Structure 1
């Protein structure tokens, strides 16, 4: 199935009651404004329409909304205990050496001190070394440039999480056959 077709998972998401849909969206992105914008546009005809709405909502986030979204992301190298999403997304750090983990901790702290928020990167598919190199590079950015990058990275993360939500919903709906 392509993202332009209507999936059973998308249909299920479209028909969730508002509280359940809000919870599902909050798990994808901690910004209430982002979730509210997507809720207001349901039902979505296609997964691609959902992703486009996410991109538009991400682009419209205020500084406070962006801060709220970032607060839902743990630092790279320290996924939230018991959170399979952050552990899966940060898989590239799972086998990292103690030296790399220590370096990432220092870089995360330097980044947070400079910009006032967690280093946000779409970590899916990246190695620990790639993430380390990215934070080193981004430490040289101005706050304005870094906000642009953070917004773009958040948009990528939101798309991945929404795709997973639609796929998971599809798997739940299909369930085991008897």
Structure 2
């Protein structure tokens, strides 16, 4: 993305603190993340906003991560009435009943082991890939899983930040700072 600001980013940069704080809470529920990202406004572009988000995410404590994770619904059960949640979990929407049941059982086992919902950046993933992700990660140590959750939250934040600064008619840059998809 160029260094120019989009109308949506300008709107975010010039919003009063309470309005910007509310918008950031919709991206990530960690109060520490929200306050740190808010404190660094204004942002010249989406890349700078994402870079700050990544740096703040890397510094979150386990308690901050738990706060952020607690706001995410289980895979296969998006938050009712929340179009962002439904869009992010679209891969599970038309899954066969057996696959949904298996994923739910794995989610429950994961939650029992780790004390929080299974968190993955579900955007663009099929139901099979979502189920397989739970299967692959359920054997992790709590420490390893916490770092994976941190990475997945970072991916989710990047996508949501692009949506946050998008204004009608904007075409947000949906690549990361290294040119790969968010």
User: What TM-score bracket applies, with the shorter chain setting the length?
Assistant: over 0.9
Q: Give the match for residue 128 of structure 2.
A: 129
* Aligned residues between the structures: 170
Q: Which has the higher helix share?
A: 1
Deviation at 1:46, TM superposition (A): 1.2
SS of aligned partner of 1:171: coil
SS of aligned partner of 2:78: coil
Q: What are the superposed Cα offsets for residues 81-123 of structure 1, whole Å, 9 maximum, x if unpaired?
A: 0011110000000100110111111000000011111100000
1:146 aligns with 2:149: no
Q: Give the match for residue 97 of structure 2.
A: 98
Ranges in structure 1 where 5+ consecutive residues have no aligned partner: 174-178
Q: Is the 8 A contact 1:5 1:47 kept in 2?
A: no
CA distance in 1, matches of 2:99, 2:19: 39
- CA distance 1:127–1:4, shift in 2 (3 Å): farther
Q: Give the match for residue 177 of structure 2.
A: none
Deviation beyond 6 Å, 4+ runs, structure 1: none
Counterpart selection for 1:171 from 168, 172, 175 = 168
Deviation at 1:5, TM superposition (A): 3.2
Q: Give the match for residue 176 of structure 1.
A: none
Q: Give the match for residue 67 of structure 1.
A: 66
CA distance in 1, matches of 2:162, 2:9: 9
1:120 aligns with 2:119: yes
Ranges in structure 2 where 5+ consecutive residues have no aligned partner: 171-182
TM-score by structure 1 length?
0.93
CA distance in 1, matches of 2:76, 2:83: 14
Q: What are the superposed Cα offsets for residues 127-151 of structure 1, whole Å, 9 maximum, x if unpaired?
A: 0000000100001111111111000
Deviation at 1:6, TM superposition (A): 1.5
Q: How is 1:148-163 mapped onto 2 (pairs within 5 angstroms)?
A: 148-163=147-162
1:5 aligns with 2:19: no
TM-score by structure 2 length?
0.91
